[in-house]
A and B are shown apart, each in its own frame.
Chain A
Amino acid sequence: MHTNQGDPMNIQFKKGVLEICVLSVLAHKDCYGYELVAEISKKIDISEGTIYPLLHRLKDEGHVTTYLQESAGGPPRKYYRLTESGRKEEHEQKEEWMQFAASVNALLERKNDAAE
């Protein structure tokens, strides 16, 4: 058995759901990069570097935009905000994930019942 962090299957799993996580956090509130990374790595143990290329792609696809905002006693920070299409995307992916997770859970729980 591998450790959680090192198991490639697990890492791919995390990388695959990263997009919906980023969209979801941004649907809640606008974030600057570091804040978003901190928010997500609190819950999911993933290399912080993978989030920035993802943000870049989302921006490229028009799902997020950025704007600069002054911060208290420091240079301005780059904030990420969901666009209209980003909100739609978030909604769709969330629905999809919920359904998928519910199906998988139902299947796994049934297996446990049978084992008992």
Chain B
Amino acid sequence: MLQNESEYIRILKDRLGGTLPREELDDIVSDYSEHFRMGLANGRTDEELWRSLGSPDDVAREIKAMHLVKRAENMKSCGNIFHAVIATVGLGLFNLVFVLAPFLLLICMVLVVFIIGVMFAVFGPFAFAYSILQLAGLPVFAIWLNPVAGVFISIGITTTGLLLVIWDYYLARFFYRVGIKYLKWNIAVIAGTEDVS
């Protein structure tokens, strides 16, 4: 493979074409072609410039991750944050531990709280109905020792469940916001620094 400007640009365009808007891609490409042009004019060789710029694949990966994180910030959605995380994880093995693992952990937390909340919110009304039936003296086997207490407890359970679900929504939003900040910091400081020799 020839290590020159046109090959470098070709790889950049190839890796970023599907993700970045045309205008942004042209803007980035112009920087790199100008760098090659100026470097050659200053008596440096294509190979030397290629090496000092770093592999176009790495450059493209970093730019792509930056772009996807920005998109996830501007348009909040599960899909967008997922793509942003995957792109950042792809920047280095290191990030399997420092990005993917915490991400999965947070998702699990949000899910567990949600499931518990929903279970409470669903179970509560049933328990409530049951204690009413028991109060009315219908021939059902007693689950409540004291049906009056059962009324209040089941209201409590339902409310707790609903509150958990609402709270979980804010928790997820909080994680999202902090996560975006962390991804940005990660890309700015850590990404691409582990295999530079």
Interface residues in chain A, defined as those with a beta carbon under 8 Å from any beta carbon in chain B? 5-6, 8, 11-12, 15-16, 19, 32-34, 37, 47-50, 52-57, 59-60, 66, 74-75, 77-78
Contact = CB atoms under 8 A, between A and B. Distances in A.
Contact of B193 (A8, A37, A74): A8
The 5 residue pairs across chains A and B that have the minimum distance between CB atoms: A49-B54, A34-B38, A49-B53, A11-B193, A48-B52
The A contact surface, by secondary structure, is helix
A19 B31 contact: no
Nearest to A54: B188
Contact of B28 (A15, A37, A56): A56
Given A15-B188, A56-B27, A48 B53 contact: yes
B31 A49 contact: no
Contacts of B58: 49
Nearest to B56: A49
Contact of A16 (B30, B54, B62, B189): B189
B189 A47 contact: no
B17 interface: no
Contacts of A16: 188-189
Interface residues of B, number: 28
Nearest to A14: B193
A50 B192 CA distance: 9
B30 to A, nearest CB: 6
B13 interface: no
Interface string B28-68: 10111011011101000000000011100011001100100
Nearest to A32: B34
B51 to A, nearest CB: 9
